[in-house]
Amino acid sequence: MNSAVSYQPKKKPLLPRMKKYAGFYFMFIPVLAFLIIFHYLPMFGIYFSFTKYNIIKAPVWVGLKNFERLFAMPNFWQAFSNTIELSVIKLVLSTGMSVILSLLLNEMNNIYGKKLAQTIIYLPHFMSWVVTASVFQLILSPTTQGLVNSILMQLGIVDKGIYFLGNSATWEGAYYVINIWHDTGWGTIIFMATLTGIDPGIYEAASIDGAGRWKKMWYITMPSLANTIITVLILNLAKIMNLFESVFVLQNDAVMDVSQVLQTYVYYQTFNSGGIPDYGYTTAIGLFRSLVGMTLMLICNYASKKVRGRGIV
């Protein structure tokens, strides 16, 4: 039985240690100042969510009234459920597509072809959402100039162009497709990195044992990728309340019932009221969003500990 006792050097007192590492502490000062000024001090703004505040006059304490109003507004709950629905479906679809694309890329033997394909699929990620929206408005236009509708009409599938982005029934589908186009390529990077790390010896052994491509993918590649897929899902789940730009640029009056999310709701409360916005109310919405985001993050952290044996925070 091994009864070796591990040696633990005696720690020096704090002050001498600080003196020893003074240079590092000095270098840390700007980071600390940045964190305090831009991350911690703004947290005092939470105070405004309990006030009525129009910037001109001093804030008036109203207690929980902003939250009462918030929870009584049907549009708020619609925005909340849209946020969850759009984010979760988008996350699952984008991650799924990224995995499939990574597996396909991994099967490519021609190194130049593989790199070219990777470069092409990464490009959409660098296109701003405003440009992406303009491009897809053209592609999905309900006129004969719209690529999709002109194909559908020429094939005789439809008589009249479908207004994909102007109808609640089709908007969500179009939104997911556009998001997959925009984000899938970029999402493959992390999966490709994992795939590259798999020991080729395992594939060789499997080949000797008579495994074909499909079996190698199913019994070697997928299990190796599983941990990364879960990690990506967990990390992104914590960010699902931050949906704004991709929705905002594709939104229009006819699809607000399916496209209004919490961030756009705050935007319209601020700029569409015709009066001076009540910043207390919009701060309350922001606080609620942050609390939901934090809760999700804690759940993810718990899930991560269970699945991976370590947390994400």
Nearer to other proteins, 96 or 142 (CB): 142
**38 makes contact with other proteins (CB under 8 A):** no
Beta bridge partners of 52: 60
The answer to whether residue 273 forms part of the interface with other proteins (CB under 8 A) is: yes
Rounded Cα gap, residues 61 and 65, in angstroms: 9
CB of 182 to other proteins, least distance (A): 18
Q: Least distance (Å) from other proteins to the CB of residue 276?
A: 5
Judged by CB under 8 A, which of 179, 184, 269, 304 binds other proteins? 269
Residue list 115-144, contact with other proteins (CB under 8 A):
137, 141-144
Rounded Cα–Cα distance for residues 313 and 102 (Å): 27
Reading the block at residue 118, the tokens are 């990777």
How far apart CA 148 and CA 84 sit, in angstroms, is: 29
What minimum distance in Å lies between the beta carbon of 199 and other proteins? 51
Instruction: Say how far apart CA 44 and CA 295 lie, in whole Å.
Output: 20
Write out the binding residues for other proteins, residues 65-94 only, by CB under 8 A: 69, 73-75
Residue pointed to by tokens 């493959």 = 188
Q: By C-beta, is 46 or 298 nearer to other proteins?
A: 46
Task: Write each residue from 228 to 257 as x if it is in contact with other proteins (CB under 8 A), else as -, in one continuous string.
Answer: ------------------------xxx-xx
Number of H helices, E strands in the chain: 15, 2
Helix H or strand E encompassing 52: strand 51-52
Count other Cβ atoms within 10 Å, centred on residue 90: 22
- Closer to other proteins by CB, 75 or 119: give it: 75
Q: Angle at CA 117, nearest 5°, toward 109 and 181?
A: 135
Minimum Å distance from CB 151 to other proteins? 17
Tell me which residues touch other proteins (CB under 8 A): 54-57, 69, 73-75, 137, 141-144, 161, 163, 165-167, 252-254, 256-257, 260, 268-270, 272-278, 281
